[in-house]
Amino acid sequence: MPDLSTAKNHAIHEINNRLFFRLFQVANTLHTKGTQAVEELGVTTQQWSVLGALSRPQVKDGMSIGDLSRFLLVSRQNLTGLLSRLERDGLIERATSEDDRRSRKVKLSAQGQILWTRLQEPIHNFYNEALKDLSFDDRLAFIHYFTKLQTNMSRL
């Protein structure tokens, strides 16, 4: 008689491989198709994520590079070059923090705000098309499971 625990473990490993491969495919598709959704406005998916993070009402006065790095789950090193390009293009500003003069904050510039507003329609169209076959409850479940996965992965 076959060992059921071995068969179950094999099935779990197979499912895990398929799940992470799908996640990898989804990330690559987001990068490709997401870029196509906003490329006419000259924005990469990485710039899109920074602009989106800085467009939130709770950070209208800016946020530290460390906080932005933690929020986006990217290294400060990866963020530094991206922020330099966004600043060069006039989309963000760096300013000394009013709380701590030794600290610098980044925030959307007026031009960055205008661009973010122009990005809303293509971004929302992209989201709506990508999620069109998912119900509201499906979308909430996705958020729940992605949050669990990200939390578990961050503990590794």
What pTM did the predictor assign? 0.79
Question: Which of the four pLDDT bands, split at 50, 70 and 90, describes residue 55?
Answer: very high
* C-alpha to C-alpha distance for 114 and 63, rounded to whole angstroms: 19
* C-alpha to C-alpha distance for 94 and 84, rounded to whole angstroms: 10
Domain span including residue 119: 4-154
Burial category of 93 from C-beta neighbours within 10 Å (exposed 0-12, middle 13-18, buried 19 and up):
middle
* C-alpha to C-alpha distance for 136 and 141, rounded to whole angstroms: 9
* C-alpha to C-alpha distance for 122 and 128, rounded to whole angstroms: 10
Tell me the Cα Rg of the chain.
Answer: 20
The domain tally of the chain equals 1
Summarised one tens digit per residue, pLDDT across range 17-51 is 999 999 999 988 888 887 777 777 788 888 999 99
Q: What is the CATH number of the domain that holds 60?
A: 1.10.10.10
User: Token pair of 45, please?
Assistant: 């998916």
Summarised one tens digit per residue, pLDDT across range 76-127 is 998 999 999 999 999 999 987 777 777 789 999 999 999 999 999 988 988 9
